[in-house]
C-alpha cells in the first residue's frame, strides 16, 4: 500500500505494508542508510531516530503507526544541540567502527534536549539502550559533557 511519511522535513510517499518496521522503510525504501540495523528487537539502539523529537527505536515502530508524526534521521538532524553533539563526537574522535554511532548521536541529542546539563548517572541511564561493541563509552560520556557545555554556552 502507499503511505505518506514525514521525514527530515519532507513528505515522502512509500510503498509498504502498515506493519513494516520504520527502520526498513527508512533504509530500503527511502535510501537513508545512516540509520542502522543491529538487532531488530530494540536492544541495541543502532536504529534510533527521532519521532516528534523523541529518540525512538525504528526497528520496533510500525510505519503505519506514525500517523503524521515527524521522523528525523541522522541525515536530517540540525540545530545547536545536534551541531554541538556532532562536533563533540568529532573533536574527541569517539567513533571506532562507527556502526552504532548514528544511534548514539540521536540518543545523545534527545538526552540533551531533555536534560541540558546531564550528570554521568543521567548519561548512563539515558544511553543504556545504545550498545557499542567497540566500547567507546567513556568517550561518549565525555562528548556528551562537552556538547552540553557548548550547546549551553
Partner 1 sequence: MGIEASRRGFLLGSGAAALVIGFSTKGVLAAGDAKALDINPFVTIDADGSVAVVVKHFEMGQGTSTGLPTLVAEELDADWQQVRVVFAPSDASRYANLAFGGQGTGGSTAIPNSFMQYRQAGAAARDLMVRAAASLWGVEPAEVTVEQGQVKAGDRQAGFGELIGEAAKLTPVAEPQVKDPSRFRLIGKGHLPRKDSLGKTTGKAIFAMDVKVPGMVTAVIKRAPRFGGKLTSFDASGAEAIKGFLGAKALPNGAGVAVFAKSTWPAMQARDAVTAEWDFSAAEQRSSDQMMADHVALLDKPQHLARPGTDFAATGAAIDEAAKVVEAEFQFPFLAHAPMEPLNCVIQPTAKGVKVIDGCQFPGITHPTVAAILGLEMDQVEIETVYAGGSFGRRATPTSDYHAEAAMAFAVLGGETPVKLVWTREDDLAGGYYRPMAAHRARIGLDAEGKILGWDHRIAVKSIIKGTPFEAVLVHDGIDHISIEGVADTHYAIPGMSVGLNDAETAVPVLWWRSVGHTHNAYAMETLIDLAAEAAGKDPLDFRLDLLAGDDKDRSRLRGVLTLAAEKAGWGEPLPEGRGRGLAVHKSFNSYVAEVVEVSFADDLVKIEKVTCAVDCGLAVNPDVIKAQMEGGIGFGMGAVMRNEITLAEGEVEQFNFPDYEPLRIADIGAIEVHIVESAEAPTGVGEPGVPPSGPALANAIRAVTGKRVTQLPMMKSGIDFA
Compute the least distance from the CB of residue 45 to partner 1, in Å.
10
Is 105 a binder of partner 1 (CB under 8 A)?
A: yes
Q: Running DSSP on this structure, what letter comes out for residue 62?
A: B
5 binds partner 1 (CB under 8 A): no
Give yes or no for a contact between 131 and 38, defined as CB atoms under 8 angstroms apart: yes
- Among 100, 109, 148, 151, indicate the residue that binds partner 1 (CB under 8 A): 100
Length of the chain: 153
Residue with cell 538532524: 77
Phi, psi of 71 (to 5 degrees): -100, 135
The site map against partner 1 for 15-54 (x = CB under 8 A) is --x--xx--x--xxx-xxxxxxxxxxx-xx-x--------
Binding site for partner 1 (CB under 8 A): 17, 20-21, 24, 27-29, 31-41, 43-44, 46, 73-75, 86, 89-90, 93-102, 105, 123-125, 127-128, 130-141
Amino acid at each position: 500500500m502507499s503511505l505518506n511519511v514525514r521525514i527530515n522535513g519532507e513528505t515522502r510517499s512509500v510503498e509498504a505494508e502498515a506493519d513494516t518496521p520504520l527502520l526498513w522503510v527508512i533504509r530500503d525504501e527511502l535510501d537513508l542508510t545512516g540509520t542502522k540495523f543491529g538487532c531488530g528487537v530494540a536492544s541495541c539502539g543502532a536504529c534510533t531516530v527521532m519521532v516528534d523529537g523523541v529518540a525512538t527505536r525504528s526497528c520496533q515502530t510500525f510505519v503505519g503507526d506514525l500517523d503524521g508524526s515527524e521522523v528525523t534521521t541522522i541525515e536530517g538532524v540540525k540545530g545547536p544541540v545536534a551541531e554541538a553533539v556532532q562536533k563533540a563526537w568529532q573533536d574527541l574522535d569517539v567513533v571506532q567502527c562507527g556502526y552504532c554511532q548514528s544511534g548514539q548521536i540521536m540518543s545523545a541529542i534527545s538526552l540533551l534536549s531533555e536534560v541540558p546539563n546531564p550528570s554521568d548517572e543521567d548519561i548512563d541511564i539515558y544511553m543504556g539502550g545504545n550498545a557499542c561493541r567497540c566500547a567507546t563509552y567513556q568517550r561518549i560520556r565525555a562528548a556528551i559533557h562537552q556538547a552540553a557545555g557548548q550547546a549551553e554556552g
